[in-house]
Amino acid sequence: ILERIEQAGIKFPIVIKPSKEGSSLGISILKNKNGLKEALHDAAYLYRQKPHPIIIEEKIEGMEFTCIIITDPITGEPIPLPPTEVVAEEGSHFFDYDQKYMPGRAHKFTPARCSDEHIKLIQQTCIKAMNTLEISNLSRIDGFLMQDGTISIIDPNTISGMGPSFFLFRQAAEINMSHTQLINHLIETELHRYKMTTTLDAKRKNQE
């Protein structure tokens, strides 16, 4: 495996993770080859009854972000929300499971603390990723703003967490959408996509 890492041009530090898992489960970050065997075992046997294939990749350095894209229900045009910058807790190597789901863990800044130009670049890149992967209506795209100003996408998602303090509602609040307005927007978008808006359109017409 060390030979294959070298042949692929992957340099330490590296990230080792299960290929079919989420929420940062089973991830290890190694600065050198020490601990490689244990990290491979942890990723492959996260669930002992079902061994996972493993991904080994070079660790990316930069500003970590997550950006959510919603869709205009009438035009179908993507609406990128202001991205959130994620800063892992001091002493940790990455935004791990506990920091993602336990209240008050890690630091999250919405909008991200970068220039307006970089905000727009993040949003445009996330829209391209969403379109390339043919994700419809809603996506949450995670990535890094690199030190050279380029964007690296690491984790495209077809849905976002719906907890009251999760990224979806944080970012929507930045464009003055309440929880209720956002949920109604997502429902309306789905109804339009599946051509189920006859009743909704009739109700609007009566109100007018």
Lookup: tokens for 82:
């202001």
Q: pLDDT value at position 20?
A: 84
Q: pLDDT value at position 181?
A: 96
- Contact indicator for 51, 45 with CB cutoff of 8 Å: yes
At 7 the three-state DSSP class reads: helix
Q: Chain-centre distance of CA 173, in angstroms?
A: 18
Give the total residue count for the chain.
208
**Residues whose CB is less than 8 angstroms from the CB of residue 146 and which lie 6 or more positions away in sequence, other chains included:** 60, 61, 62, 152
> Tens of pLDDT along the chain (208 residues)?
999 999 999 999 999 999 988 888 999 999 999 999 999 999 999 988 888 899 999 999 999 999 999 999 989 999 999 999 999 888 787 888 788 877 778 899 999 999 999 999 999 999 999 999 999 999 999 999 999 999 999 999 998 888 777 899 999 999 999 999 999 999 999 998 888 877 666 666 666 6
- Report the distance separating Cα 70 and Cα 172, nearest Å: 9
69: nearest Cα among 164, 153, 135, 155: 135
56: nearest Cα among 37, 83, 71: 37
147: nearest Cα among 106, 120, 125, 114: 114
At 74 the three-state DSSP class reads: coil
